Chains A and B, each alone.
Chain A
């Protein structure tokens, strides 16, 4: 019998007990995998932020607007390579509860600012040449069942149309696809001019600007230049990197890092207690056997390795099963939650972390009984039980 076969036999000597231990480990890693996928999706705005993009908002708060004239002034500032602007439309589709992120933007600049959006050339031309055109993120279009080539009404929960009502008609000319899997595509964009000409109040104001600098190293200098330009004006600005802006926004939701940390910590502490105790018990039951092995000439370090191998095997089998099922669950959820929490996936980094935890968990649960077994004098072992 090989050593591995021996370890495996030992682990399953009480089948039910082994299965229960595997189940407990499985659950903890399942929770870990799913929560981390959620957590990373929440933070994707920070992770995916382009280093050379900055956001210029009204200093009072980003929901306050600023005059359209600021746009031309920002474009002229040294170090600004490209600038675009956007307004929050407060859009909803069909039902007021069905709120979606709809932005009225400077069309050409905006598309150029987001190279992670993949838009076919014909679609781009169609969008730029039609003032009532609209581009919709592929995930969102799928969720709402909106098809390319149709004309749809989009409602605003803020603005009124000058012809009455709060509905705007748009030509859906194409989809925004993500460059890679975790690029969120849940936005809708349309022409600022169409917006500005049809609203009943708030004309000639823009919500915020997105600025690309010549190099990320220039960010601080350019931000300073922009904010100085508008200091003491009726709408002072605050310029920050896209990453910092997204990070502050996520922090508004609450301390998600702390919550995820506490739950994952509690889950692992639970199995640490359960599996740790069971390992101690199962090795104690085998005291006599260990004495026999030692009599046969098995060295103490070898005994230590055998016991550790058993706890590691348990941890890795349970953990890998848990991560596998977590991947499946997240795959299903990412389809169901498309458009709500885009970009949910169990990434390679989460898997690596999980492997690390499996290793540590196996060591911690196995080490105390392994050390006991290693130090056990033969005479004592054989005389017990």
Chain B
């Protein structure tokens, strides 16, 4: 057993030390694996970053109420009488006797996407005084909050990163009304940072929405109160509503786009991996061929076929591991932290950053090592089965 280990270590050392002799072939394999890993990581980091932004938004302690079947805040409508009933539902938390219920309006306005200089859908959210009580981590980082009753807006920090038209101090025009941007806010990196916020009654009147809102957020008074709230509100024949925890709502919103990116990224990654595999097999077969006399010599002095097998396989794994590391570095240098935006499920732009995570990197590493493993095993079998006498004859 011990001698076997020593044999393997000796062969391994020879193989790895002789890598520079096959410099260009080895480099092309490393490069091919690196590109596979970088491409796959690009897609996975995109999906991961998008999901984090959206699902990081939802709170477990907040319920979100929409009109039945509306699927997104943009489509929903809730009339004033219905709002009253919803506020009084069981399970709604209270603060100083008043229900923690935030009726909100969600309208779409144009901004200019900096990257393409084309118009893009940005959400303008009308929020009332309770708006901040159903959200955590909201803070004004520049300027000040909008004054209630005035045509003032505050802009999310992420929105300002990707879009122009709403810089602090600027006056914007929606229809016949002029609005002033008076502040910039952050909200724990959540999707709300991709929004513009203004006072609810002002948005209602200037966008001709009367007293209707589109969505209601309710603070939950306890752990299991969502069920009570649901059974009370869904049983009411006069109301047609959907109720979710905010967390579930945003998880659902994220899934479509995230799945789409992954369904695109994985087949591409695997296809490219097959191309790289062809390269790896080629490199390893040439490596075995060029070392034919060396392997034969080792076999002749008593090394086992198994050590030849392990040596070749290890060489392939080392090459693919080097490629994988290079690929991760490329992805980290070029993709990680890039800010971008896409159209979310609410038909408005969601700003997010590419984000590498350990989980994502592990997935790409597995693909890379699979290339090394499959690309190494067949040539390794050939190395182990090599006929010693024949190898000496052909090696001139």
Contact = CB atoms under 8 A, between A and B. Distances in A.
B77 A158 contact: yes
A16 B286 CA distance: 11
B69 A255 contact: no
Interface stretch (A1-9, A25-33, A217-225): A25-33
A60 interface: yes
B272 A266 contact: yes
A99 B174 CA distance: 29
B69 A155 contact: yes
Contact of B272 (A60, A166, A252, A270): A270
A194 to B, nearest CB: 20
A23 B65 CA distance: 54
B349 A252 contact: yes
A262 B341 CA distance: 18
B343 interface: yes
A251 B116 contact: yes
Contact of A255 (B29, B38, B340): B340
B211 to A, nearest CB: 12
Nearest to A278: B282
B303 to A, nearest CB: 26
B125 interface: no
Interface string A1-21: 000000000000000110011
Given A252-B349, A263-B39, A270 B276 contact: yes
Interface string B24-37: 11011101100110
Interface in B76-126: 77, 107-110, 113, 115-116, 118-121
A60 B109 contact: yes
A72 B282 CA distance: 71
A158 B75 contact: yes
Nearest to B340: A254
Interface string B7-28: 0000000000000000011011
A372 interface: no
A255 B115 CA distance: 8
A303 interface: no
Contact of A24 (B275, B286, B343): B275
A64 interface: yes
Contacts of B272: 27, 31, 266-267, 270
A281 B36 CA distance: 24
Interface in B261-284: 268, 271-272, 274-276, 278-279, 281-282
Given A201-B77, A254-B340, A270-B279, A234 B109 contact: no
B347 interface: yes
A51 interface: no
Interface residues of B, number: 56
Given A20-B279, A269-B35, A270-B36, A281 B68 contact: no
A263 B347 CA distance: 27
A155 B349 CA distance: 26
B183 interface: no
B136 interface: no
B69 A60 contact: no
Contact of B118 (A23, A35, A251): A251
A67 to B, nearest CB: 11
A274 B71 contact: no
B235 interface: no
A228 interface: no
B189 interface: no
Contacts of B118: 247-248, 251-252
A269 B282 CA distance: 17
Contacts of B276: 24, 270, 274
A233 B176 contact: yes
A60 B35 CA distance: 43
Contacts of B268: 31, 35, 263
A278 B77 CA distance: 65
A361 to B, nearest CB: 13
Interface in A246-299: 247-248, 251-255, 262-263, 266-267, 269-271, 273-274, 276-278, 280-281
A92 interface: yes
A281 B31 contact: no
A31 B32 CA distance: 15
B109 to A, nearest CB: 5
B35 A64 contact: no
Given A96-B71, A157-B75, A60 B175 contact: yes
Interface string B152-178: 000000000000000000000011100
A201 B74 CA distance: 15
A63 interface: yes
A235 interface: yes
Nearest to B38: A266
Task: Rank and list the top 4 A-B pairs by shortest CB-CB distance, nearest first.
Answer: A274-B279, A27-B275, A248-B118, A273-B28
13 contacts: A20-B278, A58-B175, A59-B110, A59-B175, A61-B119, A63-B108, A234-B175, A236-B175, A252-B118, A267-B272, A270-B35, A276-B28, A277-B28
Interface of A: 16-17, 20-21, 23-24, 27-28, 30-31, 35, 58-61, 63-64, 90, 92, 96-97, 99, 155-158, 160, 165-166, 201, 232-236, 247-248, 251-255, 262-263, 266-267, 269-271, 273-274, 276-278, 280-281
Given A24-B279, A281-B24, 5 more contacts: A31-B272, A90-B70, A160-B67, A234-B176, A280-B24
Interface of B: 24-25, 27-29, 31-32, 35-36, 38-39, 42, 67-72, 74-75, 77, 107-110, 113, 115-116, 118-121, 174-176, 207, 212, 240, 268, 271-272, 274-276, 278-279, 281-282, 285-286, 340-343, 347, 349
